[in-house]
Structure 1
Amino acid sequence: METIKSNLGKGGLLLAAMGIMSIILSFFNYNIRLLSWVDAWGNTMGWVIRILLIVGGGALFLFFGNALEVDVDVDEQ
């Protein structure tokens, strides 16, 4: 189970990074090849998709980025 959470966290970080890179590159009329479809629906929708990538990826990284689960044994006396 730990590996799945770790991979979700890494995937979220990758999505957020791609969204940020896409925003930066869009100012220079470039885009990441994987995200070239973003501007197919227009400029406004392209920005919405980029922002959703950052927010969604950040949320995945926030919730699943720390894959350490601590089991605490409490001794009852």
Structure 2
Amino acid sequence: MIKNYILIAWRNFARQKGYSLLNISGLSVGLACCIVILLFVSRELSYDSFHEKATGYSAPTSSLRTIVIGHGLAG
């Protein structure tokens, strides 16, 4: 049964080359983005985890406060 599915998929790939190329490239770009996001998240979650008391430590961060003044038209 699976051999039949593979044969049908191969025929469709051969018949519709542009559509198949578009689908395969979209899937590969999506998979690559998911892997990059997974690597980024795993690195961020493991920040300073090598310390014995890792829960007591925190990373220094900074925040920037700005004043927003609304501009409007007199009317």
Q: TM-score range by the shorter chain?
A: 0.3 to 0.5
Q: TM-score when scaled to structure 1?
A: 0.38
Larger radius of gyration: 2
- Bigger relative contact order, structure 1 or 2 (CA pairs below 8 A, ≥6 apart): 1
Whichever structure has more helix as a proportion of its residues is 1
